[in-house]
Chain A
């Protein structure tokens, strides 16, 4: 078959790239080889536009065992315990086929974690939909939520935290990011680097079908009006098989049979074999006749590019084949030796006794293109907002508008569709600042949270980047955990657009600065470009997933008020920053100006003191102040408990709206027993931490003297209305 310009373009490669392929091969590629280059050189697999920028992220630290570059990141949590985690996007498939797209997103990220020898212990997600009034949103929301639940519930790993947001920027391109967290023994972590020549390359798991061919290439182009036609590129998930694969792999990992292991994710058999062999500077030879196929007459091209789910590639030690086969057969899974490692440094594919393809591995991996794309600095809004001209809004009215909005409504409609309790180690479920998962049969625990702030990132990418890291850090701290490391999912528009590339570069600058300052390194992640339709790019939406450690778990700290007549303190300074606030968006549909500034020194200082106070047992409840400001934070502490607040207006600040709805950063609300007030205040003063004494808790009512009084029950009703009536 002649490789025409049309075929090259269909493979998502440009003519320049095709010329490089000819140069690397010193000849024209055949169709199979072209398909393989397309799979390895697309944005999703090669990180060609992002690689230069990703280099600047801090990835090291005492706590880091494995940074980016493996299937997932690994951190040390003391003793022989390690936590393995990563977040990944499945945006494009989920927009085309929401249930399967979201389900296979969960399945894929789970494999990344158990490939490394970890038993997955928690799932999280960050899902972003278009405006609720957009005709597709309801179907997408239903499909994605049931897809995430369908996969996690069946495989039996609790889905413990996440965020569900709506913004019209995602009308034509939703975001579905899934994060998995696993626990492994430090001494039993498995990597993907092949070692040794002549070792068996084993295919395990499901059979290969024609689904998902060129899925990764689809995820590397923006959508147009014909996106629906891409449905056949979406994979179909089978969580039951994945459960079998999980148990079989963990069983085999108990001894030393495995040299290297890699899941067949994006670009399936191609990327798994290329990555293992190229990391080990070896060659690999595959006999494609042996690949277990679901359908008849599959061609080498289809086998190499299929993204059928629930498959793994393993390189085994000599003589371990029978032992390993027994385990996989016990779990009713295919187990076939399909090739061997070689010293050729080439990927050779044989089919029916003929060499069908022969590519030097370095051409696919280290020689893949890297682009220093043009980017432009964000032009910041200089417009000074005139708040005085806005219609007057009372505190109660403003609060109700926020609490009843889709983005702030109670999300139990979503979270009750996820099994949060299976495995019986979930000490704190969704709805808290962070979920808390106990390490099985130990008395330590990890805290996990995912966060994003697209509006902040759009208006000021550097501050936005910093802010999400800080907010995530704060969420982990609020449950009494020491933040250790993060994973990031970088969802952006078309990188060939200067402004989008600028947003990417600047968001990363912000993330880098905050991570470095807080000693909160990035250990894994994923970049998703080309989120947009017909040249309209989404808001830059980096998502941060953080993990922290609670060394000794009793009942974890949470944000619910615990009693009446306790004292409420606001930690951190309030300036009343309203630009880009949730208050202006929900009350006036204004999304303007720049986000609140991040002061990393205060952020760290305030966080450290909160951790110290929690550790000393001086706090009854802690909540970080984020979107919606102080009043929303206070209402979240009241809703769902029998206790509200009785507080006074601040004496100094004149702008009440700014005080109660401003989104100044680095703040927390704490509840303390009156008898501990002196001790707490002394500690705060000694550490130069600013605080306001707001008032006390009271039974059943939420009250700001002279301004508003509303019952907790009423607040709950307001907050609980939207999802159940959408």
Chain B
């Protein structure tokens, strides 16, 4: 299984995701944002961080970078694409995923472990999780408050494209288990073809019991066939 991690100036979770991928036996390559071609990859990851300092708007400049045209092409031809945190924000800027990430409701950066629920376990990313499984995963963002129009929200629900929702440790999805004000507690979504996943929580931070837990492993190991 070959993976590519796109590195923008200001990416800072690129090393973390590379370590996680290599731990799970991916053959991984780092791809600099000024490149104009991608190595052959089964999975492309857009990592977290502050690409281009998040100036203008988070993900906005990265969404217009040289390499992103190649990512769009690959995604449209069915390659798996995973955007984590800033990567999710970038994917919404490119239009590969619809909706947007607004400032957190409390207007502060939030870093803590939260619970999320696996809503759809019928995708390549989630096949190793049980349906409605509750994961404990770290979040770290300023703009994680997912928003989209009602037409798109209806489609997300109808087509089962919501990947994860914030919940409490018993799985209750409600206002008090919503860390950032995201619409309907949405923590991650798929595109229609389900080959693109954008999520605010950091699964790459949850692959090692000494550091945290291993709730993130199944997301990556599910991709290896």
Contact = CB atoms under 8 A, between A and B. Distances in A.
B109 A153 contact: yes
Contact of A243 (B9, B16, B55, B210): B9
B111 A243 contact: no
A154 B9 contact: no
Contacts of A243: 9-10, 12, 50
Interface stretch (A40-48, A292-300, A411-419): A411-419
B49 A156 contact: yes
A441 B211 CA distance: 12
B199 to A, nearest CB: 16
B108 A417 contact: yes
A698 interface: no
Contacts of B12: 154-156, 243, 422
B140 A153 contact: yes
B205 A421 contact: yes
A240 B110 contact: no
A239 B9 CA distance: 11
A426 B16 CA distance: 12
Interface in A132-155: 146, 149-150, 153-155
Contact of A419 (B10, B108, B140, B210): B140
| Chain A residues touching B, range | 20 to 34
Contact of B9 (A149, A240, A426, A438): A240
A269 to B, nearest CB: 24
A332 interface: yes
A421 B111 contact: yes
Interface string A296-333: 00000000000000000000000000000000000110
A601 interface: no
A169 B66 CA distance: 54
B204 A331 contact: no
Given A416-B111, A424-B211, A240 B10 contact: yes
A333 to B, nearest CB: 10
Contacts of B49: 156
Contact of A154 (B53, B112, B204): B53
A419 B9 contact: no
Interface in B1-56: 9-10, 12-13, 15-16, 19-20, 48-50, 52-55
Interface in A212-229: none
B136 interface: no
Interface in A232-261: 238-241, 243-244
Given A239-B53, A419-B111, A424 B10 contact: no
A420 B111 contact: yes
Contacts of B212: 421
B70 interface: no
A391 B16 CA distance: 56
A383 interface: no
Contacts of A555: 209-210
A331 B13 contact: no
B165 interface: no
B210 A149 contact: no
A362 interface: no
A3 interface: no
A412 B112 CA distance: 9
B209 to A, nearest CB: 8
A608 interface: no
A145 to B, nearest CB: 9
Given A243-B9, A243-B10, A416-B110, A425 B53 contact: no
A424 B9 contact: no
Contacts of B211: 421, 424-427, 438
A156 B138 CA distance: 15
A553 B112 CA distance: 23
Nearest to A154: B50
B208 interface: yes
Interface in A424-454: 424-427, 438, 441
A555 B210 CA distance: 5
Contacts of A425: 211
Contacts of B109: 146, 149-150, 153, 417-419
B111 A417 contact: yes
A140 B204 CA distance: 35
Given A154-B53, A243-B10, A244-B9, A421 B140 contact: yes
A180 to B, nearest CB: 15
A683 interface: no
A685 interface: no
B24 to A, nearest CB: 14
Contacts of B205: 421, 424
Nearest to B49: A156
Contacts of A421: 111, 138, 140, 202, 205, 211-212
A146 B107 CA distance: 10
A423 B10 contact: no
Contacts of A616: none
A82 to B, nearest CB: 20
Nearest to A415: B111
Interface string B85-119: 00000000000000000000000111110000000
A381 interface: no
Contacts of B210: 427, 438, 553-555
Nearest to A119: B15
A238 B48 CA distance: 18
Chain A CB within 10 Å, residue with most, of B204, B210, B212: B210
A244 B204 CA distance: 23
A154 B16 contact: no
Nearest to A150: B109
A239 B52 CA distance: 10
Interface in B109-135: 109-112
A418 B50 CA distance: 14
Contacts of A238: 53
A424 B205 CA distance: 6
Contacts of A438: 210-211
Given A239-B50, A240-B55, A418-B111, 17 more contacts: A149-B109, A154-B54, A156-B49, A239-B53, A240-B50, A240-B53, A241-B53, A243-B50, A332-B9, A412-B112, A416-B111, A417-B109, A419-B111, A421-B140, A424-B208, A424-B211, A441-B19
12 contacts: A146-B108, A153-B111, A154-B50, A156-B12, A238-B53, A331-B9, A420-B111, A421-B111, A421-B138, A421-B212, A422-B48, A438-B211
